[in-house]
Structure 1
Amino acid sequence: MPALPRIAVFVPDLSDAPDRRTAVALAHALLAQGHPVDLVAPMGGGPLRAALDPGIGQIDLAKRHAATSPLALARCLAERRPALLAAPEGVFWVARLAVALARTGTAAVRLDGGPEKGLEDGLAAIHAAAPRWG
């Protein structure tokens, strides 16, 4: 069985906000499905850092804000080569710009609607972007 592709999840920070908790839950669910997963944030500190499974790559871009992160995120994409980058609606523009700058063929997926849409919708959006994964 071929290895499942790497997936990166970009969040604006690791504060204990509902959409960030959903992103962390999504990363855990993807890891449980066998995907290698990276959780990428402009600054790596925050209350949710302790909640991350050790199997999830924790990438700190060393930037103060999501708005200053596109170049650093593009470098991360070029190095880690995820097949897909998922990001919440509020920072999806950062993800799209980073994908364009990286030129790696990484697909960008917007996680719409925040926590009320939940984990299942996030997983569905990711699998819809790459149906060959099952």
Structure 2
Amino acid sequence: MPSLTPAPLAVALFLPDLEERPDRRSAVDLAHRLLRADVAVDVVAPMGGGPLRAALNPAVGQIDLAKHHAATSALALARVMAERQPSLLAIPREVAWVGRLALWLGRSDGRLVVLGGDAETDFAAIRAAAPRWG
């Protein structure tokens, strides 16, 4: 018998790297804000290392695609989308094409949210795109 409790909202947050840059720091802040809002969050990166990795809350999922560049990550990201089935894929503007391709390759029903680099604005965009909130 299926559960009557809806599954929690899940977001995959793809970052081209975890280097210490203002836009990446904003994305980490966004991940923490989503976590505080009871959203399941996975941070997905081509290579999982970088200075900001240590800044991630242990409750945030960390997925290392074992790729050298964001441009070569579409197929691996598609696999993550197919396996984990998050409702949303949030991705920085400069690599939005990787997200579109990954959603297409993975035949995912997930929605794409393009991040602008401001945690407050990006949180509002995710909330607006979410199929259900709360």
Which bin holds the TM-score, normalised by the shorter protein? over 0.9
Identity of aligned residues (%): 62
Report how many residues are paired. Answer: 130
Task: State which of 94, 112, 125 in structure 1 corresponds to 2:98.
Answer: 94
Instruction: Give the partner amino acid of 2:128.
Output: A
Task: Give the letter for the 1:5 counterpart.
Answer: L
How far, CA to CA, are the matches of 2:31 and 2:103 in structure 1?
19
Q: Which residue of 3, 12, 15 corresponds with 1:11?
A: 15
Q: CA deviation at 1:120?
A: 1.0
1:74: Cα distance to partner? 0.2
Unaligned runs of 5+ in 2: none
Per the alignment, residue 132 of structure 2 pairs with: 132
Report what 1:36 is aligned to: 40
Moved over 2 A (4+): 1-4
Partner of 2:27: 23
- After superposition, where does 1:104-123 map in structure 2 within 5 Å? 104-112=108-116, 114=117, 118-123=118-123
* CA offsets 1:34-68 (integer angstroms, 9 cap, x no match): 01100000000000000000100000000000000
Following TM superposition, by how much is the alpha carbon of 1:5 offset from its aligned partner in structure 2, in angstroms? 1.2
Query: C-alpha offsets along residues 51-109 of structure 1, whole Å, 9 cap, x if unaligned?
Result: 00010000000000000000000001111110000001111111111011111201110
Name the CA distance, whole Å, in 1 between partners of 2:80 and 2:56. 19
Deviation, 1:131, is: 5.6
Match of 1:80 among 36, 61, 84: 84
Equivalence for 2:66: 62
Runs of at least 5 residues in structure 1 that lack an aligned partner in the other structure: none
CA RMSD of aligned residues (A): 1.2
Please give the alpha-carbon distance, in whole angstroms, between the structure 2 residues aligned to 1:24 and 1:95: 18
Q: When the two structures are superposed, what TM-score results if normalisation uses the length of structure 2?
A: 0.92
Higher fraction of helix: 1
Q: Give, in whole Å, the separation in 1 of the partners of 2:7 and 2:78.
A: 24
